[in-house]
Amino acid sequence: MSSPSKRRDMDVMKLMMSDYSVETINDGISEFNVEFHGPKESLYEGGVWKVRVELPDAYPYKSPSIGFLNKIFHPNVDELSGSVCLDVINQSWSPMFDLLNVFEVFLPQLLLYPNPSDPLNGDAASLMMKDKEQYEQKVKEYCERYAKKEHIVNAPTDESDEELSDEDFSDGRSDSDDDVAGHADP
């Protein structure tokens, strides 16, 4: 490719022509949302997330910024901001990668193989290491509550995200799930 802008256009077009639903923001191709489905045979199977992508001016030489807009319980995803902790995006990005790699390889791998030793969500990491069964239950609960098709149609803005966070901590449906990680009732 002769210029970063041509490469950006081509990568976004490839993503739009694939099976992913892409919604541009402000009629540009530097910011957009992508409908992302949890990988098969994972705890996240059946979940649907709206993932925000921001491409820097220097893309593909600089990595895209990736963040989940609806909630996900995962050690390497910040629960409040949706930011993703993934070496291949944050540190070892290469212009050889493209946006399809992000959605077909990198994000599915992140969900299939969480890394609790490098967490953005300390609660998820701690629970995963101390009580795998309770961790898996909480992941499935989040998928049910926050990652269905109807949740991404009107993805929460920052204000409503905060409301969801408050509800999550005082939800009342499963008080034992909200206890200190690793604590089991007798």
Active site residues: 85
DSSP string, the chain: ---HHHHHHHHHHHHHHTTS-EEESTTSSSEEEEEEEPPTTSTTTT-EEEEEEE--TTTTTSPPEEEESS----TTB-TTT-BB--HHHHTS--TT--HHHIIIIIHHHHHHS--TTS-S-HHHHHHHHH-HHHHHHHHHHHHHHH-SHHHHHT---HHHHHHHHHHHHT--TTGGGGSSTT----
